[in-house]
Amino acid sequence: MPEEEQTEPIVVRLERKTSTEMIGEFLREISALILVFAPLDRYIAEGEVSPEWLTGTLLVSFLLFMIGIAMEGVVDRTERRR
């Protein structure tokens, strides 16, 4: 008879997110949506996407993404101090 493998129970910690974490997550998600849907919308509406407009969209998306990462980094650093 084969030995039964013992497994450890899965432990899930449910913690409330801080406002800073939620805003950081929102900014990262909205940056991805802008990156995907803004050029698509522009192409559907006007039939083309200019390089200048695409560069601006990429810049805005990248900026929002980096701000979101920075905001969550602030939360991580303050949690490590506790």
pLDDT tens, position by position, 60-80? 999 999 999 998 887 766 665
Confidence bin at 44 (pLDDT 50/70/90)? very high
Amino acid 82: pLDDT: 57
Tokens of 47: 């039939």
Q: How far apart are CA 19 and CA 35, in angstroms?
A: 24
Listed by start position, the domains of the chain span: 29-81
Q: Is residue 26's pLDDT more than 70?
A: yes
Write the burial class of residue 64 (CB in 10 Å: 0-12 exposed, 13-18 middle, 19+ buried): buried
Query: What is the model's pTM?
Result: 0.72
Report pLDDT for 52: 95
